[in-house]
């Protein structure tokens, strides 16, 4: 069974960490509504949603992807680059321990889940302002015994690797090549986001469907013309907190 682990929108979301975006007013009630619609979308696509309650002390807590990375064999609790977020993993760990043995990234390493793109047994890890070389090294030490290969990918101009590229399934990646060295994905088919939609590379595959923000219609058109089935959602308020559709769930097989 496919599990989707989520957490409610914090009432303090407007105090979120920002790196590449200017701060804008966030409509919390609308963000909650959009997040519930996202959870419903996951359920519609066959996932069992485990929804943890919001945590007011963590403005970014809804972005559950960053504190943990779940592989088939283990769950890795990360050590986030944003110090204010380092307590977010506690409640996630309790839930994940029901499904996987737990491993941890240790100081001085930093690693955020949004910087890790898995394609089969290969883990592409973004070297970013949130994930350092020590974090990628520890990820390699934890994952290689299970047969994974870890590839470091320098990231520029965006928050995480999955802000710049995401796997659409098989051998296809959606990317903004200005933010990564796409030569590292030799052998893959790379689809480029529309030129006016630079933040449109974050996309979530669930089964044979792609969950994608309504904010990027030109890129969605490209995806559909390329044969992909896209389910659009309104994620405008969480986007103001520098969040994407991968950020707000952890997907794994029970």
Please indicate whether residue 160 is annotated as part of the active site: yes
Asked whether the whole model's pTM tops 0.85, one would answer yes
Cα 92 from Cα 81, distance rounded (Å): 18
Q: Are 251 and 4 in contact (CB under 8 A)?
A: yes
Q: Are 40 and 250 in contact (CB under 8 A)?
A: no
Tens of each residue's pLDDT in the chain, 254 residues:
999 999 999 999 999 999 999 999 999 999 999 999 999 999 999 999 999 999 999 999 999 999 999 999 999 999 999 999 999 999 999 999 999 999 999 999 999 999 999 999 999 999 999 999 999 999 999 999 999 999 999 999 999 999 999 999 989 999 999 999 999 999 999 999 999 999 999 999 999 999 999 999 999 999 999 999 999 999 999 999 999 999 999 999 99
Q: Are 174 and 203 in contact (CB under 8 A)?
A: yes
Q: Which of 41, 158, 166, 247 is catalytic?
A: 247
pLDDT at 170: 84
Q: What is the CATH number of the domain that holds 61?
A: 3.75.10.10
Q: Which of 16, 158, 160, 165 is catalytic?
A: 160
CA angle 146, 149, 151 (to 5 degrees): 145
The total domain count for the chain is: 1
Residue 116: Cβ-neighbour burial (10 angstroms; 0-12, 13-18, 19+): buried
Domain that holds residue 23: 2-253
């Amino acid at each position: 069974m496919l599990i989707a682990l989520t957490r409610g929108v914090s009432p303090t979301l407007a105090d979120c960490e920002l790196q590449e975006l200017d701060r804008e007013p966030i409509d919390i009630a609308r963000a909650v509504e959009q997040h519930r619609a996202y959870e419903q979308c996951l359920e519609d696509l066959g996932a069992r949603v485990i929804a943890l309650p919001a945590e007011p002390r963590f403005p970014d807590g809804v972005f559950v992807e960053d504190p943990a990375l779940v592989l088939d064999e283990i769950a890795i609790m990360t050590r986030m680059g944003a110090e204010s977020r380092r307590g977010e993993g506690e409640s996630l760990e309790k839930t994940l321990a029901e499904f996987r043995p737990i491993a941890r990234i240790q100081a001085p390493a930093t690693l955020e889940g949004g910087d890790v793109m898995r394609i089969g047994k290969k883990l592409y890890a973004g070297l970013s302002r949130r994930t350092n070389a020590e974090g990628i090294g520890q990820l390699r030490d934890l994952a290689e015994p299970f047969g994974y290969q870890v590839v470091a990918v320098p990231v520029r101009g965006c928050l995480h690797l999955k802000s710049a590229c995401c796997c659409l399934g098989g051998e296809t990646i959606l990317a903004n090549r200005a933010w990564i060295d796409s030569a590292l994905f030799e052998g893959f088919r790379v689809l480029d986001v529309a030129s006016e939609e630079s933040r449109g590379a974050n996309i979530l595959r669930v089964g044979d469907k792609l969950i994608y923000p309504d904010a990027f219609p030109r890129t969605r058109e490209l995806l559909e013309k390329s044969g992909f089935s896209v389910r659009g959602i309104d994620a405008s308020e969480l986007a103001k907190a520098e969040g994407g559709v991968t950020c707000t769930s952890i997907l794994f097989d029970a």
